[in-house]
Amino acid sequence: MEITIKIFGLKEQRIIRDSWLTSTGIESETELAVTKHHVIDFNNEFDAMKFIAETDCDFEHGFEIIKTFKK
């Protein structure tokens, strides 16, 4: 069985929910949402944890780690 450790960075983004035209121009309704961005895959947990510990990046909400199994 093949194991893959997937690393995702979590980032906050402003998302436009709705927009409309007014007499003064275009207005919009927005909200903040945390989105996942795939960063890298590893074959073992040690390398994945080492990558997270040594990485200085701009993911303000940290990382999500997903372990997948494949036959």
Task: Decide if pLDDT at 5 tops 90.
Answer: yes
Q: Which amino acid is at 15?
A: I
Q: What is the pLDDT of residues 9-57, one digit of tens each?
A: 999 999 999 999 999 999 999 999 999 999 999 999 899 989 888 887 7
